[in-house]
């Protein structure tokens, strides 16, 4: 469900109370752990945490470099952690840590899906967000780009 909201406040205001409460709690964890250099914005119809174009303009789609996002979808809510999905090692470490929490591991290509806040290991989300400074994300993106180019 893509939102047309232009601010985070508008986005949250259009949600049902239970989803608003859950996403506000996850948002607080993200903001409390967000490394310096990322900004919160509305992008792609969801709450996005990204590297501004002024800091890193060399993106393939001319959009800010995505790091994380929050969204309310039709059948679930999601935390997008694109930063960890650039690296197989980071993705594997995240999966192992997630499974160790005992919570249901429900992931998509770059998202963790949850139906209620209790389904999500908030400490792990915070640790994951805190673990990837802007410079490291940029390095991973550039390395991934080099790998893709070399496979052509």
Output the average pLDDT for the chain: 90
Provide mean pLDDT across the span 96-111. 92
Is 1 within the bounds of a domain? no
Provide mean pLDDT across the span 107-118. 91
Is 3 within the bounds of a domain? no
> What is residue 13's predicted lDDT score, i.e. its pLDDT?
96
Task: Please name the helix (run of DSSP H) or strand (run of DSSP E) that holds residue 13, with its range, or none.
Answer: helix 8-13
Provide mean pLDDT across the span 1-23. 92
How far apart (Å, rounded) are the C-alpha atoms in residues 144 and 149? 9
Strand locations in 16-119, DSSP E?
A: 39-43, 46-51, 65-72, 77-80, 111-114
> What is residue 145's predicted lDDT score, i.e. its pLDDT?
73
Is 2 within the bounds of a domain? no
Provide mean pLDDT across the span 97-125. 93
DSSP, collapsed to helix, strand or coil, labels residue 67 as: strand
Is 87 within the bounds of a domain? yes
Among residues 4, 8, 24, 55, the alpha carbon closest in space to that of 117 is found at 24
Quote the domain boundaries for residue 62.
Answer: 8-150
Tens of pLDDT, residue by residue over 20-66, are: 999 999 999 999 999 999 999 999 899 999 999 999 998 888 999 99
How far apart (Å, rounded) are the C-alpha atoms in residues 119 and 6? 28
- For residue 74, count CB atoms less than 10 angstroms from its CB and return exposed for 0-12, middle for 13-18, buried for 19 or more: exposed
Is 99 within the bounds of a domain? yes
Tally of structural domains, the chain: 1
Contact 46, 3 (CB under 8 A): yes
Q: Is the pLDDT of residue 120 over 50?
A: yes
CATH at residue 107? 3.90.1150.200
49: which strand partners? 40, 68
């Amino acid at each position: 469900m893509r939102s047309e909201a232009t601010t985070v406040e508008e986005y949250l205001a259009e949600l049902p109370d239970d989803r608003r409460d859950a996403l506000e709690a996850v948002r607080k964890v993200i903001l409390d752990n967000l490394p310096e250099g990322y900004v919160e914005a509305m992008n792609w119809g969801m709450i996005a945490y990204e590297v501004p174009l002024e800091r890193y303009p060399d993106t393939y789609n001319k959009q800010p470099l995505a790091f994380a996002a929050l969204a309310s979808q039709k059948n679930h809510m999601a935390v997008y952690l694109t930063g960890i999905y650039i690296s197989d090692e980071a993705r594997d470490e995240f999966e192992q840590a997630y499974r160790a929490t005992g919570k249901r591991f429900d992931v998509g290509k770059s998202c963790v899906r949850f139906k209620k806040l209790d389904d999500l290991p908030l400490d792990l989300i915070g640790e994951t967000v805190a673990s990837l400074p802007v410079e490291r994300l940029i390095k991973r993106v550039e390395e991934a780009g080099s790998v893709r180019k070399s496979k052509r």
